[in-house]
Amino acid sequence: MAENRIPREAQSRAQNERPKAWTPPELLPEPEREAGYAYRWVRVSTLNAADPRNISTKLREGWEPVKIEEQPQMKIFLDPKSQFPGNVEVGGLMLCKAPEEMVKQRNEYYSTQSRSQTEAVDNSFMRQSDARMPLFSDKKSTTTRGFGKGS
């Protein structure tokens, strides 16, 4: 009976795998990551109308455009009518990078802003609460473990 067994190395699970399903392509190519930098696609135009306010804001925040020499694999995606020749721009979006530490500080700043605004709204709302009909009532339930009847 042991002679009829197939060695484990000869067995393959490939026949049991599901066939790969088609998925739509990504809208934007993924850049090759450089250590210590975060990448982001920044809008430079919408419906062929330039958006200088948005790009100006992002540049002042510390985002810097990525040159095509830094991401040579993206040459095939370039727009020939680009407003920013020499930079990676695809469909009105320009690839930018910034130091990860700066991005972390920016995210913390906006997180603090959001948290303080939420607290202000909650405090303003709770100020209208009346003891006779509270806006929120803390509902607490407890569970006790009994021994049943006759214990």
- pLDDT, tens digit (0-9, with 9 covering 90-100), for 93-151: 899 999 999 999 999 998 999 888 888 887 777 777 666 666 664 556 677 777 766 55
pLDDT for residue 135: 61
Structure tokens at 132: 């006779």
- pLDDT, tens digit (0-9, with 9 covering 90-100), for 5-38: 777 766 665 556 677 887 777 778 888 888 899 9
Structure tokens at 136: 């929120």
**Over 90: is that where the pLDDT of 64 sits?**
yes
**Domain presence at residue 89:** yes
**Domain presence at residue 12:** no
Instruction: pLDDT band for 43, please (50, 70, 90 cuts).
Output: very high
**Domain presence at residue 132:** no
Cα–Cα distance measured from residue 110 to residue 118, given in angstroms and rounded to the nearest whole number: 12
**Domain presence at residue 20:** no
**Domain presence at residue 93:** yes
**Domain presence at residue 131:** no
Cα–Cα distance measured from residue 33 to residue 28, given in angstroms and rounded to the nearest whole number: 15
Number of separate domains in the chain: 1
Write out the residue range of the structural domain in which residue 74 sits.
38-122
pLDDT for residue 144: 75
Cα–Cα distance measured from residue 90 to residue 78, given in angstroms and rounded to the nearest whole number: 6
**Over 60: is that where the pLDDT of 87 sits?**
yes
Cα–Cα distance measured from residue 70 to residue 79, given in angstroms and rounded to the nearest whole number: 17
**Domain presence at residue 112:** yes
**Domain presence at residue 107:** yes
